[in-house]
Structure 1
Amino acid sequence: MRTSPRSLLVVLAVPLVVALAMVLTAPAPASADRVVIGGHPARTVEAPWTAAVASRALFGGKRSGQFCGGAVVAPTTVVTAAHCLSRGVLGMDWREVRDLRVIVGRNDLRKADGREYPLARIWVNPAYESDNRAGDIAVLTLGVALPAAYTIPMAGKGDPAYRPGGRAAIYGWGDTGGDGSYAATLRTAAVRVLADTVCETAYPGNAEGDYDARSMVCAGLPDGGRDACQGDSGGPLVVQGRLVGLVSWGSGCAVAGRPGVYTRISAVAGLVAAHG
């Protein structure tokens, strides 16, 4: 989810943790299975590289403890957002959380299909800047290798997938209405890669955020209506079968003039390779 006060995408902020904890311990809302804002249901078989990052100890078992998303980029490597493992999201140092898991192949978080993987190693970018949210990347290493078919390639620098106007898809189990109605099943929404100037105008360094084109990529629709939201943080932004971004932050959910901001994968691919 996003971490600005009216955040829309993902930067799981303290309000998100509180809201998510309430959702996981309260009766399921009637809208719990609505799709991503402006989106529609998806299946993990269609996006096998989409992962859920979870901790039942912190977030309860109702939705398998899911609190963030991730993407499988190599048989033992999952990437997610650095802010997902922040004290603001977890309420403690991530090293103190004993049951962090990555869940793959589970479309419905209320069920037990797919597989849950404990983590052999965790690396959180020490250069991540929570103030301007640059370098929002963490690498989760699995102790067991997944089949190559479960991985998605990372789009490198200069890849045409980053061109403005390209059709993109976001995936996650987060808030479907911007009101704490977290989805139990995977959903997806179609958006467009936007020009950096669009996000520079929307987030010029004021209270709502500071967009940095060197480390971030912008996506959404000019009139809003489709977006990632709280609980989707760290989830994949995919263009032409390649991973171009991870849900990072934004202002509000699916609000016109406030597009989603994602970690630019080409800017952190070297870090992933070094720590995966």
Structure 2
Amino acid sequence: MSGTCRCLLIFFCFLQICLPQMLEEPKNFDIVPRVVNGWPAKKGDVPYQIAFKSLRYRYKRIYMTFCGGVIIAPNKLVTAAHCFDEKTSPCRKFWGKSVKASKKLVARTYAVAGNLYNLAVFSSKDTFEDGQWRRLREVIYPRVYDFPKFDIAVAFTINPFHYDAYVGPIPIASRYRDYVGKCLVSGYGRISKKETSEYLILAHLDLIPRRQCNAIHHRNMQHYVCTSGRISDVQKGDSGGPLVCQGTGDPNEKDKGILVGIVSGHRERAGTFFTRVSSYYSYIQSKSSRIKKSYLLFIVTLYCSLLF
């Protein structure tokens, strides 16, 4: 191969591999979103809100929210991939378009709707105070997920939620829009660097146009929705929660608005960024509660697991 051809090959490799990473993989982004300067939610304000809870105090059976989520169908939820990602063997990402969260993590997590409290005592009964508690069947997220890229996950409950005045779905955005104005965010996380909220908190966030967002973060932010943190913001514990807008012009939008983003992370002095739902609309819609497996996949995965 001549020197010229070799240089051209290196150049095109740079365009294909390095340049997309420079443009689309934000660096120095933290998973520390919080809802601050908001107000306490009331029953029915955000019926689509999910609290993913895990056991905090075993002897009291008290569960604490570690991430948020959104109801989009009776047994189908959307959240952030980093809420369920565990740094394990690369074998789990060897095959197919999606991977599943570990069974151990899924088994110890409840998806709770209609509950306003960060800490809650598990109840097998669906009462007004306790909300609806559902065990998870599985959680799926893209194989190429690498925070904050592709930070989207689809979760499935074993039993469906029963829709009522306090529990119900929200439609998801299907088309790209450069959103403007204010949108509603909700979460159970910290309300300051040291203080954690006792209740579900709501806040209106100012959206930043994409061009301005690109300039602030010094990257191509087309797969994110960005907000300003000057007045209100989100914090750790709110990850995976909803950003809901109205008047977007999206064909899926209903009376109470549409889900445009999932809380992903935060960058100091730059504001919070949300995974843009419309970028993953086809992925979310296509996912069912089963990832196809094969005998060959089983053998490859088993062999791979012996190497790591």
- TM-score, normalisation: structure 2: 0.67
Task: Give the 3 Å change call, closer, same or farther, for CA 251–50 of structure 1 in structure 2.
Answer: same
Q: Which residue of 1 aligns with 2:275?
A: 263
Structure 2 partner of 1:109: 118
2:225 corresponds in structure 1 to 217
Match of 1:30 in 2: none
Structure 2 equivalent of residue 192 of structure 1 = 206
Aligned counterparts, 1:64-213, within 5 A: 64-87=63-86, 94-97=102-105, 98-112=107-121, 113-130=130-147, 133-148=148-163, 150-158=168-176, 162-177=177-192, 179-204=193-218, 210-213=219-222
For 1:207, the equivalent position in structure 2 comes to: none
How much has 1:173 moved relative to structure 2? 0.4
TM-score computed with the length of structure 1 as normaliser: 0.74
- Label 1:51 to 1:59 Cα distance change in 2 as closer, same or farther (>3 A): farther
Greater Rg over alpha carbons, structure = 2
Give the secondary-structure state (helix, strand or coil) at the position aligned to 2:159.
coil
For residue 267 of structure 1, give the secondary structure of its aligned residue in structure 2.
Answer: helix
Pairing partner for 2:263 from 236, 239, 247: 247
Deviations 1:145-199 (A, max 9, x none): 22456100001114xxx4442220110001101x131112000110122111222
Aligned length: 228
Distance 2:284 2:182 in 1: 25
CA distance in 1, matches of 2:274, 2:285: 19
Contact 2:51 2:68 in 1 (8 A): yes
Give structure 1 stretches of 5+ with no counterpart: 11-35, 205-209
CA contact (8 A) 1:77 1:142 kept: yes
Quick one: structure 1 residues 61 and 164, their matched pair in 2 at CA, closer, same or farther if it must change by over 3 Å? farther
The answer to whether the Cα contact below 8 Å between 1:59 and 1:65 also exists between their aligned partners in 2 is no
Cα deviation, residue 125, structure 1: 1.7
Taking the aligned partners of 2:204 and 2:40, their CA distance within structure 1 comes to 12
Does the residue aligned with 2:119 lie in a helix, a strand or coil?
A: coil
Select the structure with the greater relative contact order (CA < 8 A; seq sep ≥ 6).
1
- Supply the distance in 2 between the matched residues of 1:60 and 1:243 (Cα, whole angstroms): 37
| Identity rate, percent | 26
**Aligned-partner Cα distance in 1 for 2:236–2:187:** 10
The worse-fitting range, judged by mean Cα deviation, of 194-203 and 260-269 is 194-203
Q: Does structure 1 conserve the Cα–Cα contact (< 8 Å) formed by 2:132 and 2:161?
A: no
Structure 1 stretch displaced more, 168-177 or 115-124:
115-124
CA pair 61-167 structure 1, distance change in 2 beyond 3 A: farther
Match of 2:287?
Answer: 275
Q: CA–CA distance in 1 between the matches of 2:43 and 2:242?
A: 13
The yes-or-no answer on 1:231 pairing with 2:237 is: yes
User: Residue 176 and residue 143 in structure 1: after superposition, are their counterparts in 2 closer, same or farther (change >3 A)?
Assistant: same
Provide Cα deviations, 1:32-78, integer angstroms capped at 9, x if missing partner. xxxx3121111241101000112216999786221000111111111
Q: Secondary structure at the match of 1:56?
A: strand
Change (3 A) 1:63 1:126: farther
Whether the aligned pair in 2 keeps the contact of 1:57 and 1:99 (CA below 8 Å) is no
Task: Return the offset for 1:128.
Answer: 1.1
**Are the structure 2 counterparts of residues 59 and 39 from structure 1 closer, same or farther at C-alpha, using a change threshold of 3 Å?**
farther
RMSD, aligned CA? 2.7
